[in-house]
Amino acid sequence: MTTEPQIDLSQILGHFGPYGGRFVPEALIGALEELEEAHRTSQLDPTFVAELAELHRTYTGRPSIITEAKRFAEHAGGARIILKREDLNHTGSHKINNVLGQALLTKRMGKKRIIAETGAGQHGVASATAAALMGLECVVYMGEEDTKRQALNVARMKLLGAEVVPVTSGSRTLKDAINEAMRDWVTNVETTHYLLGTVAGPHPFPTMVRDFHKIIGEETREQVLELTGRLPDVVMACVGGGSNAIGIFHRFISDPSVRLIGLEAGGDGVETGRHAATITGGTPGVLHGTRSYVLQDANGQTIESHSISAGLDYPGVGPEHAYLHDIGRAEYRAITDEQAMHAFALLCKTEGIIPAIETAHALAGALQVGNELGKDAIIVINLSGRGDKDVQTAANYFGIPLD
Amino acid sequence: MTALDELFVKVRAENRAALIAYIPAGFPSQSGCHKVIEAFIAGGVDAIEIGFPYSDPVMDGPTIQDAAVTALANGTGATEVFQALATASAHVPAVVMTYWNPIERYGVDKFAAAISANGGSGVITPDLTIEESQGWASATVSSSINPIYVVAPSTSDSRLSQVTSKCGGFVYAASLMGVTGARTTVSSGAADLVERVRKTTTLPVAVGLGVSTREQAKGVAAYADGVIVGSAFIKAMQDAPDEASGLAAVKELAIELAKGVREGR
């Protein structure tokens, strides 16, 4: 008896079940097709693969290490807590994985200019970094509100030679930065690549960005097996658009014993309406070129999201997460600002690691799940970013005076 | 045949282009929008597009973005869009232009039926790709309305024929690569695009993006079946010191543009 090759129908044309796809002006179709083709052929091109691997080894600092957080674990029911240290990557977060891949693709397509959106500034900094490294012009769109919350990252991008454009439309946050980047792209698509920073947007972005981040899960799986001799019980990550979460989840999707848990930004609490927990509190819809869960009202208007974390403050989420949620392969929970900041402070004081506030949502989730599972459990957390950029926000939150 | 189809038969017989005017529902206010529609008709526009204001208008420049913000602050939703559509369609062929999500949220079949029930001829869906259009195609057939898609200068010839084969009413040709808004000149790419579209379909072709003056309308009318003007009307309302003078300016602009579309050939 022969086995028929398995075709995953949900992946055809960039769909994940009913989610994903392409909802864009016709003007962008050519560029999306060109990008899809460049991505497809580059993955089969040993030169491209080797060039990216070399950059990861000599520039990013991959493989990133894992750290067992024993003192933090005492607060998580005694479960073994293992941190995947994406915060130690060059530029301080997982974002560089995707950015280097897309910057190489930009050169491969013969384009000279990249544009990017950024919320917390992590993706903007990573994009500005890659542009400097590869001699590309770089414009970063950032909500005016976020340029204030993340002033340090704005300065960083400027030092790296990027132009930072504060976006004053709409809610002046990440969603509006994406709108403005898409307007730029539609106008300058001949010369410009839109270096989208998350697993959302029109096909091929959700698939391509995931492909550039899946190295996180691949490394983690090997490292955890080596350290503990078995697969973890749970893999956890924070979810805004969802790139770091897909990155660490993807290699584990085919390991049915491993629970995958995404932690969304619950803001003041999902019940207050002031949150960014798109899967927990949203409904299926179309935003920024893809069908997924969206925070929206009865007329299909996007509802503004709220989170202490600029990087999670987004009313959409990647379509693959929507699909993993619906088929029950991954779980999604909301973590409030207060819970996240508690976990933030705890990691600082128990492990000497200042995490990004985004990442602190995953840490707060681990405190819950560790207490649910008890001490035989092995929990892996994607420590997606470091918290240097959040020092001011955290100081304000905890009432630490800054002169 | 929809009223829009009949309009293009008529203007072709008159050897001229049609003037199509755009206004978002709820702008500058609910009642103000209905007055703008009256000014359009008094000024001689041939067809009206009612915009469904949307929170994330990625294809629109600052003028229409601002109008959408105003309209949403005025509480505009599907109900108000259909009311404006009914006002317009009582006089001239009228369509709705909307980003896709409001249709999906309202219900695809229900939305198409509501367009028809309010006298509308069709819907322009600038971010609905043909790959995602299956459900919408059958809804528009059931409700006997025109599905109108937008093509761009970057659209390849092979893709143009795929898109225009799904179109009804007319093909919306975006004159340039970019967002909506008045420009000092209409891109020369528009004529090329219209010519390429005509090789794929016998449907009328209307040109939008960047047209704001009688001269520009005349230029476009030389080769297109329809001239679409949006931002220039909104700007006339936004720049006016009060609603009455804004409405007068809208009517005056419509009269000028209506002359333009008759001077092209």
Distance between CA atoms of B27 and B220, rounded to whole angstroms? 27
Any domain includes A10: no
| Assigned token pair, A241 | 């658009």
A174 touches chain B (CB under 8 A): no
Task: Kindly report the pTM of this predicted structure.
Answer: 0.95
* Residue percentage of chain A with pLDDT more than 90: 91
Interface check for A324 against chain B (CB to CB < 8 A): the answer is no
Which pLDDT tens digit goes with each residue over B153-206? 999 999 999 999 999 999 999 988 888 887 887 777 899 999 999 999 999 999
pLDDT at position A217: 98
Match 């379909």 to its residue by tokens: B201
Mean pLDDT over A301-323 rounds to 95
- In a shared domain, residues A241 and A352: yes
Which residue, A66, A84, A174, is CA-closest to A383?
A: A84
- Residues from chain B contacting residue A183 (CB–CB below 8 Å): 58-59, 61, 179
Q: Please state the domain count of chain A.
A: 2
Distances (CA, A) of B240 to A142, B37, B60, B136, B245: 32, 17, 21, 39, 6
In a domain, A102, yes or no: yes
Structure tokens, B204: 């009328």
Which residue of B52, B56, B183 is the best one to mutate when testing the A interface, meaning the one whose CB has the most A CBs within 10 A? B56
Q: What is the mean pLDDT of residues B237-248?
A: 97
Tens digits of per-residue pLDDT, B206-231?
999 889 999 999 999 999 999 999 99
**Same domain for A143 and A78:** no
Task: Determine phi and psi for A315, rounding to 5 degrees.
Answer: -85, 10
Structural domain range at position A261? 60-90+213-396
Domain CATH for A245: 3.40.50.1100
**CA torsion sign, A157 to A210 to B127 to A176?**
negative
Closest approach of chain B CAs to the CA of A202, in angstroms? 11
What residues in B contact A299, CB-CB < 8 Å?
77-78, 102, 105-106
A21 Cβ contact list (under 8 Å, min separation 6): A13, A14, A15, A202, A203, A290, A291, A319, B129, B131, B132
Q: Which amino acid is at A43?
A: Q
Query: Does the structure show a pLDDT above 70 at A1?
Result: no
Phi, psi dihedral angles at A378 (to 5 degrees):
-115, 120
Is A286 an 8 Å CB contact of chain B?
Answer: yes
pLDDT tens track for A267-298: 999 999 999 999 999 999 999 999 999 999 99
Lowest mean pLDDT across A77-81, A100-104, A120-124, B20-24: A120-124
Q: Which CATH number fits domain B3-263: 1.10.3720.10, 3.40.50.2000, 3.40.50.2300, 3.20.20.70?
A: 3.20.20.70
Q: Which residues of B are catalytic?
A: 49, 60
Q: How far, in whole angstroms, is CA A247 from its chain's centroid?
A: 8
Per-residue confidence (pLDDT) for residue B84, from 0 to 100: 98
Q: How confident is the model at residue A358 (pLDDT cuts 50, 70, 90)?
A: very high
Q: Are A169 and A143 in contact (CB under 8 A)?
A: no
CA distance B44 to chain A (A): 30
What integer pLDDT is reported at residue A297 of this predicted model? 97
- Residues A1-29 as b or e (16 or more Cβ within 10 Å = b): eeeeeeeeeeeeebbbbebbbbbbbbbbb
| Structure confidence by residue, pLDDT tens digits, A18-58 | 999 999 999 999 999 999 999 999 999 999 999 999 999 99
> pLDDT (tens digit, 9 = 90+) per residue, A182-206?
999 999 999 999 999 999 999 999 9
A21 contacts in chain B (CB < 8 Å)? 129, 131-132
Domain end, chosen from A166, A181, A202, is at A202
Q: Which of B128, B154, B171, B175 to mutate to test the interface with A (most CBs of A within 10 A)?
A: B154
> Is there a contact between B105 and A296 if contact means CB atoms under 8 Å apart?
yes
CA distance A61 to chain B (A): 37
Q: Per residue in A366-396, pLDDT tens? A: 999 999 999 999 999 999 999 998 998 999 9
CB B21 within 8 A of CB B233: yes
